[in-house]
Amino acid sequence: MTPQEIQLLSDSVKIGFPVLGTIVGASIGAISTYFLTKINHRYEYKKELSKRRFDLIIQTATDVTEFEHILGIYATTVSNKIQGFKLAVDFDEAKLNAYSKNQSIRRARMTLKILGLTEAEQKLEKYLILTREMMRFNVNLSKERATELARQISTGPAEFYAALSEEIEASHATH
């Protein structure tokens, strides 16, 4: 080999290894960036799903509270009317509200089904059985039963709220 060939080979190695190293380094960097971005995107997606689920649970609780308020007024008005007490709220207005402003409870029940919260749904259903009895029999209830239903309805679905609270705690514990 001539000195010029050796010099050419030496220059090729001196230039080639850094270029090859740069290409390999860039490739490793690109692959790492791709996988980190993919993992980050997956994390953000799960985080967004968790936030949306939380928001739906809170909206469900708000919807039930709205219904609970309307039915609490109605139950107290029915009980007071049966017992002959002076009514603080117009009976016909309270009855109309109870029968016509129940969209919030329907929305809450739908959301519970969509989210698969069967325990909370069952607890809410126990409460709704009381409200249905009050609405079905209203002034035809006995004084004792009207008083008992009004007390239970006005107290609200505490077990339901506890079940939702457990769901919120469980979802935060996993994320």
- CB distance 134 to 149 below 8 Å: yes
Domain tally, the chain? 1
Of 131 and 24, the one with more pLDDT? 131
- pTM to 2 decimal places: 0.78
Q: How confident is the model at residue 12 (pLDDT cuts 50, 70, 90)?
A: low
Q: Is the C-alpha dihedral spanning 17, 20, 26, 28 positive or negative? A: negative
Confidence at residue 13, expressed as pLDDT on a 0 to 100 scale: 61
**Does the pLDDT value for residue 122 go beyond 60?**
yes
Percent of the chain exceeding pLDDT 90 equals 67
Of 130, 61, 66, the closest CA to residue 104 belongs to: 66
b/e map 136-160, b = 16+ CB within 10 Å: eebeebeeeebbebbebbbebbeeb
**Could you report the per-residue pLDDT of 50-83, keeping only the tens digit for each?**
899 999 999 999 999 999 999 999 999 999 999 9
Domain span at 11: 3-174
Cβ 118 vs Cβ 36: under 8 Å:
no
pLDDT at 111 over 90: yes
pLDDT of residue 18: 72
Average pLDDT (104-132) is 96
Task: Report whether 160 contacts 68 (CB < 8 A).
Answer: no
Tell me the pLDDT band of 34, cut-offs 50, 70 and 90: confident
Position 175 pLDDT exceeds 60: no
Lowest mean per-residue pLDDT among 15-24, 40-49, 139-148, 158-167: 15-24
